[in-house]
Amino acid sequence: MAGTMNLRERKKLATWRAIRSAALRLFDEEGYEATTVEQIAAAANISRATFFNYFASKEAVVFDQDPEERSDWQELMNGRPADEPLWDSLTAILTGFCESLRERMPLQRELKAQSPALAQSGQSFGEQFFTDLRDWAADRHSESDKLTVTLWQNLAVTATLTAYQTWPADESFDDFQRRLERCLREAEPARPAD
């Protein structure tokens, strides 16, 4: 995607990333609640108005996806072999998606634990991803039983959420990935006999 962007789009993406980087650094150093939009703008060398051109709120800095992330995970989905069993595809996609969040997921989790405002937020870092995954599964397996495809996809998503929700604060991201793999293994439906 970066190769097809014009100069203006690349500058906007660089500004978006600079704002997020400054905000996440301040959240890590000062705490989410103590950090103001004005401090983020100053750290990113932009105006307060410019901040709001890129993010709707301070909370959005934590949860909004990088503009290039969606094309990355769509590539991950579309790269699965057409004849691969659905559960194998879902497992590979979900572990790959979580791996792409290696740098951000631990900080988001820590910030939610520290901030009552973020903890009560209904926003999730994966909302758009899960919607795209549902669309991908429905399209890829349109000839299959819709109930089975939807059930298996929901099982895989629930296994992923379970791994996240039970991830102890003192465990590393690698520990989370092992927990995720275990949850997906244990949630795997029985495959039909040939």
pLDDT tens for each residue of 33-86: 899 999 999 999 999 999 999 999 998 888 888 888 888 889 999 999 989 999
- What b/e sequence results for 57-66 when a residue is b if at least 16 CB atoms lie within 10 Å of its CB, and e otherwise? ebbebbbbbe
Residues 121 and 89 in one domain: yes
Write out the residue range of the structural domain in which residue 94 sits: 69-187
Domain CATH for 150: 1.10.357.10
- Domain count along the chain: 2
Is the pLDDT reported for residue 131 higher than 60? yes
- Is 194 inside a domain boundary? no
Q: Is the pLDDT of residue 151 over 60?
A: yes
Higher pLDDT, 54 or 124: 54
Whether residue 15 is contained in a domain is answered as yes
Are residues 147 and 58 both part of a single domain? Answer: no
pLDDT at 1 over 70: no
Please tell me the predicted confidence (pLDDT) of residue 28: 85
Q: Rounded distance, CA 51 to CA 54, Å? A: 5
